[in-house]
Structure 1
Amino acid sequence: MKKQRKWIVAAIVLVLIIAIPVGWKLYENKKEADRQALIHMGDGLRAAMKEYDETAARVEKNKKLGEEYTEIMRSILKGEVNADEVKDKVCGMEKELMKLYPTIYTEASSVCKE
């Protein structure tokens, strides 16, 4: 019985001798991976900020186009502008939309093609 107990104790000690350095190495590897992730987090943040700035600029252009459209419609309703002025303004707006959304607006309208 004592001999069997010695083998069990020896096996536990052997497992601990092996497990502690292996566990420590795994811990160090994880710590280094986390450190590297923090170091490179700036790259992702810069990319996200650039994308945010581009989106914000696009939203601002959309807002300006919407305001311009509203002003044109008010002028038409009040009878303050003639057809040529309206056509020039609308075609200018259309060009801006084509720049903002080249995959959506690929071709000028029939009014602005002339």
Structure 2
Amino acid sequence: MYGKNGISKYSLIVILTFILGYIVFLIWRLFFTKPSITLERDHVISTRNHRYDTAQIECIYVNYRRIGIKLYGKRLVPIDLCFYFRRGQDSAGVEAVHEWAARNDKEIKHKFFQTLA
């Protein structure tokens, strides 16, 4: 067990168990969490529960069904500020985003955008 091959064997088992656990966690998070962005009166709460004031937000990008909120001074949209609407909620969701942008004087740009993880 404590020989040259024993320690490396157990180390490999521990590392592979950790990797397998991480993969299971990522798959569980992908399928069983429902990320949501909350548009409040003067701020936005992202999917990671970060608060962004309207003064930090430059504009809103719309690319087909994907919507991203771009911050000032950033070239890419943070992944926690990028979201989709479900099929039945498309029109109501996009209308709510347009109302929020109009209320806070933010421009909506219909173009492709990249995200930052």
Fold conserved between structures, TM > 0.5:
no
Q: TM-score, normalised by structure 2?
A: 0.31
Greater strand percent: which structure? 2
Q: Which has the larger radius of gyration?
A: 1
**Which is helix-richer, 1 or 2?**
1
> Which structure exhibits the higher relative contact order, with contacts defined as CA atoms closer than 8 Å and separated by 6 or more residues?
2
Normalized against structure 1, the TM-score is what? 0.32
